[in-house]
Structure 1
Amino acid sequence: MKIDTALLDQVTAIAEEAGRAIMTIYARDFGVEEKADKSPLTEADQAAHNLISDRLAPILGGIPILSEEDVEGFCGADDAGRYWLVDPLDGTKEFIKKNGEFTVNIALIEKGRPRLGVVHAPDLARTYIGWPGEGAWRIDADGAHSITVAEDRDGPWRVVGSRSHASPKMTDWLAELGESEMVPMGSSLKLCLVAEGAADVYPRLGPTSLWDTGAAQAVVEGAGGKVLDPRGETLDYSRTDKVLNPHFLAHGRRLTHWPALGE
C-alpha cells in the first residue's frame, strides 16, 4: 500500500478538524459520564469520534475503523491487514482537569504495524506526524520541523511519566536504570516527547489500549526510536480481539540492557 504526503496531509487535516470540535466543547461547561470500566467520558469524546469516523470512511476504499468509542462496531482488519486505529480524545482526564495535555490520535495499521500516525494536541496548538521509515515532524506556530530522538545523549536519564497513572512499580524500575529525572506529561504526548528528543525513555508499567499508542508509536519510529514489549519486540497491533497492550518501553536514547518491564 502506498503512503504519500497527500495521505499524511489528509489525515492531519482530519485530526486538526476534530481538535477544533473538541476545543469548542472545552471552552464551555460540559458533563462527564462514566464508562463500564470506570473511565470518564465527555461529549467531546463522542463528537470527535463521529467527525473522525465520517472523514476517514471514504479514504483508502473504506477500510475498517477501530475507535475507542465504537469497539463493538469494528469488524476486524481488511484482507490486507489494514485498519484505522483512533483515539478521538486521548487524555480525557487531562481534558477534564483542563491542563491542555490531551490529544487526537489517528494511526493507519497494516499487518500489525503502524504505517503512519498523527497526534494532535489542540490546546497546545501542536501536531506530531510519524511516517516510519521516512521521518517524523512537529507542526506548531513556527511551522513544520523534522524531529529525531536523542539517541546518544549523556547525563541523567530523562524519564517521561504519566500525570494521571503513577505506578508504584516505577520506583524499582528507575532504581535499576540509574540516575534519572522525571518529565511529567499526559496522554500520548509522552511518546511524542521521546520522539522529539525532549525525553529519553518512557516505560509504561500499567494498562493502556491499542488506540492509546498506535499513532504515537508511528511518530517515535519515524523519529528513529523504538517501542518495545517485555520480550524486546516491537509493540504489535495484530490482535484486535485483545485491545489491551502489554507493558512497553518507548525509547530514543540507547541502552544495552533495559530493566525488566514485567507483564
Structure 2
Amino acid sequence: MIEKVSYIARAAGAEIMKIYNGNSKLDAYKKLDKSPVTNADLLSHKIIMCSLRSLTPEIPVLSEEDITEWQACRDGSCFWLIDPLDGTKEFLLRNGAFTVNIAFIEYGQPIMGVVYVPAYDLLYAADNGKVWKINYRRERINIAVRTSSYPMIVMSRNDVNYDQHHLYNYLKKFKNYKIINIGSSFKFCLIAEGSVHFYPRFSCTKIWDTAAGHVIAKAAGAIINDWEGNSLHYRNINRSFLNPGFQVSSY
C-alpha cells in the first residue's frame, strides 16, 4: 500500500511541477477564508482523490479541497486525510517549500503517511513504525531524529499570529539555537531526518496540514504534543478541522 500511495503522491507532484515550471498556465484564486488556492492544488486533488477511490473505494477521504465526506471520516474507524498542495503560499512565492501530503488515519491516529516535496524530488514515507526518505537519485535512506547542543528551530514562514510572549518563554530554555523559517509539512520531515530539532507552532493548523508529517516524524522518534502535553490526534473531528498549537521535538 505504501508504495502505491507514494506513486500517487509522485503523480500529483509531477502535475504540480508542470504549472510551477510554467509548462502549464497558473490560475490563482482566493477562498472564502481568503487563503489562496490554485489550479495546481485542484489538479493534485483530483489525481489523489480518483486514485484513492480506485485503490480503496470503501474508505472515505477528507481533503482540504473536498470536505463532503467529513462525517463519514469522523464516524468511521479509518479514513484518508490529504492536502493536495500544502504550502500554496510557498508555491506562489516559488521557493520550493511545498508538499503533497497523504495520510491514513485509524482510530484517530495517523499510521501511514507520505510527504512528497516535488520541487526537490524528495519523498518521505512511514508505515508500520518504519520511516525513510527517497532522494532525487531514487536512493532509499532510513532516517531518524538527532539531538544537538546547538539546536535548529524551524518555524512556519506564515505563522504570524503567534504570541511573542509565548515565543520568548519558549526560547529561554535554549542556550544556543538558530531559527529558520520554512512553509508546509516539510518541517516535520526535516525533524524526522535530523536536519532540525524543534518545531513550535503557537497558532492553530488544519488537520490535513499535519497528519502525514506527524506520522513520519513520530516514526523517526520525534515527540508531537500540544502545549498541554497531550498527544496530537485526529479523532472527534468537526467542521473547523483545527489542531491546537503544538510542538514537534527531537528529544
Tell me the secondary structure at the aligned position of residue 59 of structure 2.
coil
Q: Does 1:130 align with 2:129?
A: no
Task: Look up the match of 1:17.
Answer: 11
Tell me the secondary structure at the aligned position of residue 216 of structure 1.
helix
Asked whether the 8 Å contact 2:154–2:181 carries over to 1, the reply is yes
Asked whether the 8 Å contact 2:74–2:237 carries over to 1, the reply is no
Tell me how far apart the structure 1 counterparts of residues 174 and 48 of structure 2 sit (CA, whole Å): 40
CA shift for structure 1 position 8: 0.5
Q: Does 1:112 align with 2:108?
A: yes
Map Cα deviations across residues 77-101 of structure 1 (whole Å, 9 max, x no partner).
2875100000000000000001000
- Once the two structures are superposed, the pairs formed by residues 1-263 of structure 1 within 5 Å of their partners are 7-28=1-22, 29-77=25-73, 81-131=77-127, 133=129, 135-142=130-137, 143-150=139-146, 153-166=147-160, 167=162, 168=164, 169-241=166-238, 242-252=240-250, 254=251
Asked whether the 8 Å contact 2:185–2:210 carries over to 1, the reply is yes
Tell me the secondary structure at the aligned position of residue 83 of structure 2.
strand
Q: Runs of 5+ in structure 1 lacking a partner? A: 1-6, 255-263
Q: Runs of 5+ in structure 2 lacking a partner? A: none
Aligned length: 244
Tell me the secondary structure at the aligned position of residue 70 of structure 1.
coil
Tell me how far apart the structure 2 counterparts of residues 176 and 223 of structure 1 sit (CA, whole Å): 24
CA shift for structure 1 position 186: 1.4
CA shift for structure 1 position 239: 2.2
CA shift for structure 1 position 32: 1.6
Map Cα deviations across residues 35-68 of structure 1 (whole Å, 9 max, x no partner).
1111101001111111100000132343000000
Give the partner amino acid of 1:141: Y
Asked whether the 8 Å contact 1:64–1:78 carries over to 2, the reply is no
